[in-house]
Amino acid sequence: MKKHFSFVVLIILFVSTSCSLLPNREHIAQTEGTREYTDDYTKKYASTLNAMFDNEWTVVSTENKYEEHDPLCEHVDTRPQQFIEWSIEYHDGNGELQTFVFDNRSSLSSQIMSYIINYVSNYYKENYYDVYINDVPLAGSSYVFCFFVRLSSYTSYEAVRDIDETTRKYQSLLDTPEGTICLAKMTPANAFSMCPIYLSVSVSLSGDYSYGQSYEESVLKQTEDLAEAMNEFVNNRLNAQFYVGYHQIVNMHTGSRDYRWAFLKGELVNYFDDRAIFESYKGIFW
């Protein structure tokens, strides 16, 4: 379990940089040292966009953009890049107006996943985490993140070969009309049924250890209530891990380093790993 959370932190750092979206190199025209992306994704993926938005979508803006390279990404092509960015308005499954922003620098599949990750994690942070944990002094290491089921970097390749191959194939088909996800039907409540995803929720305390055991127990109870409310909201289909502890390396007053538990397919469990999440979606997406 501790290995899993270490891996989560590494992934968070990876996703947080622009290096996570690799260039669509087959459509790069090098001009005076600038990477120029010219594909019109609204035409190239018109059928996929129709499937994503149930034929009801509007391009509200098209912008030609230019960016210097990210100095943190020295290990990749660091030339400036010129690309096109589109904003599409659509209504989700709740009838709420949403905006899908994407560009032609990287695969549409990766951008669909990134959009859903933000759509889901932002909702649960704003409507559950910030409501139930609103009076707790939190460290910067607190978070609500969403992940698609994927290969774990700390497990041997042989042990997760089927996860690697199957999830990669699933993700590669997200930019096709047959394999994409219908965002027009998606809601925060049904997302766990429409996508192979799970949440990771951390309540990392920045408060003084001298607050005592009763304070720790009250925070733990708030987080348990948060988890139960989220599971009820998704009709007991939640895949999520929860963590409560101090940001500092210090045991809690009960002697535990921290508290960790999870919901797998809506059932309370001690923890789950990548294989358990993968298996929970067998017969649905693979």
Sketch the domain layout of the chain as residue ranges.
Answer: 2-23+107-280
Sign of the Cα pseudo-torsion (107, 239, 11, 70, in order)? positive
**Helix 108-124 to helix 161-172 angle, to the nearest 10 degrees?**
100
End-to-end Cα distance, the chain: 25
Q: Measure Cα distances from 210 to 120, 136, 213, 249 in Å.
A: 35, 15, 9, 14
Q: State how beta strands 81-91 and 58-67 pair.
A: antiparallel
What secondary structure letter does DSSP report for 68?
A: P
CA dihedral 93, 180, 126, 99 (to 10 degrees): -70
Amino acid 14: pLDDT: 42
Cβ-contact 74, 81 below 8 angstroms? no
Q: What are the average pLDDT values for consecutive 10-residue runs of the chain, which has 286 residues?
A: 44 44 51 84 98 98 87 67 96 98 97 98 98 93 95 64 89 97 98 97 86 91 98 97 90 86 97 91 95
3-state secondary structure of 192: helix
Strands, E assignment, the chain? 28-31, 34-37, 58-67, 81-91, 97-103, 143-148, 197-205, 240-246, 258-264, 267-269
CA 28 to chain centre: 28
Amino acid 8: pLDDT: 45
Amino acid 79: pLDDT: 81
Amino acid 274: pLDDT: 86
Q: How far apart are CA 223 and CA 263, in angstroms?
A: 13
What secondary structure letter does DSSP report for 122?
A: H
Strands, E assignment, 47-141? 58-67, 81-91, 97-103
Please calculate the CA angle 101-197-278 and round it to the nearest 5 degrees: 140
Q: How far apart are CA 213 and CA 203, in angstroms?
A: 16
Amino acid 24: pLDDT: 55
pTM of the model: 0.84
- Tokens standing for residue 282: 């067998």
Q: What are phi and psi of 36, to 5 degrees?
A: -115, 120
In 10 A of CB 88, how many CB atoms? Answer: 19
Amino acid 16: pLDDT: 43
Amino acid 72: pLDDT: 58
